[in-house]
Amino acid sequence: MANRWLALLGFVALTLLAASLGGAATATSVGTWYQELAKPEWNPPRWLFGPVWTTLYLMMAVAGWRVWRHRENPERLPALRWFFAQLALNTLWSFLFFGLRRPDLAFIEIVVLWAAIVTTGLKFWRIDRPAALLWLPYVLWVSFASVLNGTVWWLNR
């Protein structure tokens, strides 16, 4: 039983590590370069991103942990590989967009990230439906973020 809760803690720690790495890249430009970019009028306020992403990372961690618990399911390891791959892609996006200040490369990457997120969610659905439902807000937010990224790129090319 203790291993189960330690594993949850591990999933939370891993997703928050990814969030911290992405946040460090974001911090290099969000208050300067990003403020100067042309953005659509439907761009969310800056204060919204922190709470949304914190919530999403915690939901991602719980979803991954729920799938991890299905040790008897042969689809578990492939699903968790997708989970870790999308987490790495999630972190990479911040480095491309904010760190390198390349919305063009970030847009290409976020399309790949979105596909990895959807694939992960579909794999989760076959193993643990509550995990897949926890995943859905992430899919929706990154769908929105993809359109926003593409629009920012278009407006600033």
pLDDT in tens, 72-125: 999 999 999 999 999 999 999 999 999 999 999 999 999 999 999 999 999 999
- Domain with 12 in it: 2-155
Nearest to 12 by CA among 93, 68, 75: 68
Question: What's the CATH number where 13 sits?
Answer: 1.20.1260.100
- Helices 2-27 and 76-94, interaxial angle, to 10°? 20
Give the count of alpha carbons within 13 A of 116, CB side only: 19
Q: Is the pLDDT of residue 132 over 90?
A: yes
* Confidence (pLDDT) at 153: 98
pLDDT in tens, 37-83: 999 999 999 999 999 999 999 999 999 999 999 999 999 999 999 99
Q: What's the pLDDT band for 2 if we cut at 50, 70, 90?
A: confident
Total domains, the chain: 1
Q: Are 147 and 40 in contact (CB under 8 A)?
A: no
d(CA 6, CA 2): 6
- ∠ at Cα 42 (118, 20), nearest 5°? 55
Give the chain's count of helices (H) and strands (E).
6, 0
